[in-house]
Structure 1
Amino acid sequence: MQPPILDLRQAIVQRVQSNDKTQLQEVIQDSVGNDERTLPGLGVLFEMIWKQIDAAEQSKLVEALYTHLQHLQPAAKA
């Protein structure tokens, strides 16, 4: 019999669920710009935020992302 499969979202939520606000901020700060292995965790946390905010807040986030992307140098083509 195979052990139960714990999906990635559940594993990430369980890892940070008992953290206080300071610890959550540290998790985010330590993950941003760090090893790419942390990106799925940030994605799960972002998804949780996205689902809890209204359309106006979502629009603000999209606008911030869009503005940031417009200031980046185009990626070199392989």
Structure 2
Amino acid sequence: MDINIRRAVIHNVSENNQDQLRDTIVDAMQKGEEKYLPGLGVLFEVIWQNADEQEKGMMLDTLENGLKQT
């Protein structure tokens, strides 16, 4: 069985507006279940691929600071 997680996640949210995307992300994080991590990873991959270098730097700063607080 060939399951393409990237394709499935993108297909499932490709028509969503910003509010729906936010709800998807927040819901997955609140549930805290491991099964949602691949989907969140796909969403982050889309963000990263569409960010310019300044935005990537800001994300890395946010990530670094967030990891220090955990």
Give the TM-score band, short-chain normalised. Answer: 0.7 to 0.9
Report matched runs for 1:35-54 at 5 Å.
Answer: 35-54=33-52
**How many Å apart are 1:10 and its aligned residue?**
0.2
Aligned residues: 69
Question: Structure 1: how far apart are the matches of 2:54 and 2:15?
Answer: 29
- Give the corresponding residue for 2:29: 32
Q: Calculate percent identity across the aligned residue pairs.
A: 35
- Give the corresponding residue for 1:68: 66
Greater share of helix: 2
**How many Å apart are 1:20 and its aligned residue?**
2.0
Question: Structure 1: how far apart are the matches of 2:25 and 2:6?
Answer: 16
Structure showing greater relative contact order (alpha-carbon pairs closer than 8 Å, 6 or more residues apart):
2
Name the SS of the counterpart of 1:37 in structure 2: helix
State the structure with more CA Rg.
1
Q: Which runs of 5+ in 1 are unaligned?
A: 73-78
Q: TM-score, normalised by structure 1?
A: 0.79
Alpha-carbon RMSD: 1.4
* 1:57 and 2:55 matched: yes
Aligned residue identity for 1:44? V
